[in-house]
Amino acid sequence: MHTLFPVQTSAQNSHLDANSAPDIEPIQWSLISHLVECFLLEQWVDEHLIQVITTTEYLANHQTSQPQDAHQFLSSLLLASLPQQYQDFFDQDNSLIVMKLEQDRQLLLLVEPAYASPWRLSKSCLPVIYKVNLSLNSNLNSILNNSHHVDSGLLEPVGSPQQLLDMFLSMMDSATLSDVGVLKLKESLEASFIAQQQSATANITTTVCQYAHWHQTLIAAEQWASLMDRPFHPLAKSKLGFTAQEYKCYMAEFNQPIKLVWVAIAKSHVMVAEHVQDMTIQNPASYLLDTTQQQKLMRELDDKGITETYIATPVHPWQMTHVVDDMYADDLANGTVVALKFDELITYASSSMRSMLIDTNTPNSIKLPIGVYALNSKRYLPALKLINGEKNQAILMQARTLDPVISAQLRLWDERLWWGYMSPSHLYDKSAINPYFYQEKPTHLGAMLRQLPADLCDDTIRLLPMASLGMLVYKQGVNHHIFDGIVQEGIHSTTQDSSQNSAQDSFQEGSPQNKKAAVIACFKNLCDVFLGTMLRCLRLGFAPEMHGQNIVIVLRDNRFTSLLLRDHDSVRIHLPWLARHKISDPEYLSPPDFKNRLYRETPQALIFYLQSLGLLVNIRAIIESLVEHYHINEETLWHEAMISIEESLVTIDFDDDQRQLLRDELLNSSHYPHKTLLLPVIARGADPHGSMPAGESKTINPFKRVKNSG
């Protein structure tokens, strides 16, 4: 049986070293599975080229004028060269998607029904290429008498995701494809495949929630979240720009300490956030360094005579070597930027790669630019986005005053302090017509501070990126899920509210049914907090970024209690709904004659983010990990998510039109919008844009199948 969680399947013991060869078949299957999903949902080819039949019908298409036993023999010949699981698949009369590649070749996708899409690749089988033998029927008698003449390659499993991508591209009109975009897609897929093989050697802790300190748990959970990166995205692990060694140094799953390098920038070239009033005391060093470290840094600045006129800022070591030394060569030569010897701050990568965490009891962490292509966009740090992030944080803070439940359940990383390189002539121009907002150079040198709410820096609390809950880790032949520790600890906790945790309280060792009930109750608790909070945000007219890297869920006493948001520059709004609650237009910055996409023109366009990122990515990943790990019926978990939405629609004080629209879009509609991932990569080509290329198609409503079976 293949797995959706391939990167750790080879890590059978804690002594696995970096030279151990991972089992690449699970990685291939997972990438192929995600490629198939993208191909079907993004509608790479016209529907008439895709035929959905059953295996029985397919074999019947090879019916000849020969006796039935001859037909059965022919069918067995078709399958004879395949492993047993393929023969079992055909014997059970399963669904099959048949696509014509060329006159004499077909591609067979061995599929099963799904919840987030109509079909998904069967976990038992890779796709199959069928090479049609046009003389097969006319020569059947010869074949029956001389079976050794049969072409043993009639049916052959697809060998790699790269091979499958080539087949998919061959079915498309090449005139409509960007050659550069196709090369970028192929390069990214190959890099993602190699990266997953590397990640399979990472030695991941399995006791995330058992650390003594909250910051240790957060760093450990980020390792888990990084393993899959963006779930269901075939290119997610591709980090174009990293060598193999750099990948292992700088990706979170390897848990490597990263010493930031530091530079001093002339204050005449530094644009700052609105909340930075005095760079002498409001600078990265004052928030990130302890007293001893600050003193050492200040001595170096004093020795260079630049204490008063420069500001010291950290730089990711990869960025310094590969970008700053070259792009800022003139500034380094003329003294505008000064490279420092100070390197005392040790950090750890988060799952987003450029957000750096400190392993100590501090609310502060740092987000840095890094010119690596991830999800086919450069991870730089533009001032325009930082300014829009400030505007969005103001909306989030106002929302917390309007709804007491949001106040309790929606917590914010404070992202209102930042510093960035800027031309002196435009240092104070924060209008949309500042030309330097649209140049690449200023985006590569700067920093944004993140500050946690003080009450969350508490060792009774666990902070878990939701992406970490959609992942399994394998060690010594056993797989692990973060829910293991939560549910287990919940059983022995004396502070649990028994009325809220009856399913968990009934858990007994050796009782699989009770354990499943406890896991389902834990998942329902998560849905209530996540979906309930997001629905309250929609009521007020905004949608936070909802994928599992951006949202950290807060665990207290083994109960999920609130959400912690980061990356506020991705909040989307619908002005008419904001206006109902007297939240003003933030007046986002955007290029002239370009409507900022943070504005959503219709309520449906706002709800899209809950449907696509919230449910079809974030919640789906968690459901599929729980299904694989605990062998829970998948429909049960989708049903729990549906009940959570239904309850929220009743209890939240929506306007009548909002409630009906949300019910129609989330529960009653036959289809959901779906975020496209791969075709936009081809369309973008070599454009080094700072956001992930994406478009929109449609898929089935995941709750439709739940309702139909109910």
Integer CA distances (angstroms), 379 to 256, 319, 372, 612, 681, in order: 20, 11, 6, 22, 16
Confidence at residue 26, expressed as pLDDT on a 0 to 100 scale:
87
Confidence at residue 127, expressed as pLDDT on a 0 to 100 scale:
93
Residue tagged 């002196």 (tokens) = 424
Residue among 558, 539, 547 at smallest CA distance from 405: 539
Q: How far apart are CA 274 and CA 430, in angstroms?
A: 10
The residues, ordered by sequence, that sit 6+ positions from 12 with a Cβ below 8 Å of its Cβ are 474, 475, 476, 477
Residue among 49, 313, 29, 422 at smallest CA distance from 196: 29
Residue 79's domain spans which residues? Answer: 45-170
Answer whether residue 76 is part of any domain: yes
The bridge status of strand 410-412 relative to strand 261-266 is: unpaired
Confidence at residue 490, expressed as pLDDT on a 0 to 100 scale:
56
Answer whether residue 74 is part of any domain: yes
- Count of domains for the chain: 1
Answer whether residue 165 is part of any domain: yes
Answer whether residue 444 is part of any domain: no
Answer whether residue 306 is part of any domain: no
Confidence at residue 614, expressed as pLDDT on a 0 to 100 scale:
97
Answer whether residue 159 is part of any domain: yes
Q: Contact, 395 vs 587, CB < 8 A?
A: no
Confidence at residue 24, expressed as pLDDT on a 0 to 100 scale:
77
Confidence at residue 14, expressed as pLDDT on a 0 to 100 scale:
37
Confidence at residue 77, expressed as pLDDT on a 0 to 100 scale:
66
Q: How far apart are CA 530 and CA 641, in angstroms?
A: 10
The residues, ordered by sequence, that sit 6+ positions from 520 with a Cβ below 8 Å of its Cβ are 503, 632, 636, 637, 640
Bridge partner residues of 465 (DSSP): 552
Q: Contact, 275 vs 416, CB < 8 A?
A: yes
Residues of the chain under the 70 pLDDT cut: 1, 7-22, 62-77, 132-153, 489-511, 686-692, 710
Burial group, residue 303, by CB count within 10 angstroms (0-12, 13-18, 19+): exposed
DSSP letter at 445? S
Answer whether residue 77 is part of any domain: yes
Answer whether residue 378 is part of any domain: no
Burial group, residue 171, by CB count within 10 angstroms (0-12, 13-18, 19+): middle
Q: Contact, 194 vs 439, CB < 8 A?
A: no
pLDDT digits (tens, 9 = 90+) for 82-117: 888 898 998 899 999 999 888 778 999 999 999 999
Dihedral sign from CA coordinates of 452, 455, 460, 466: negative
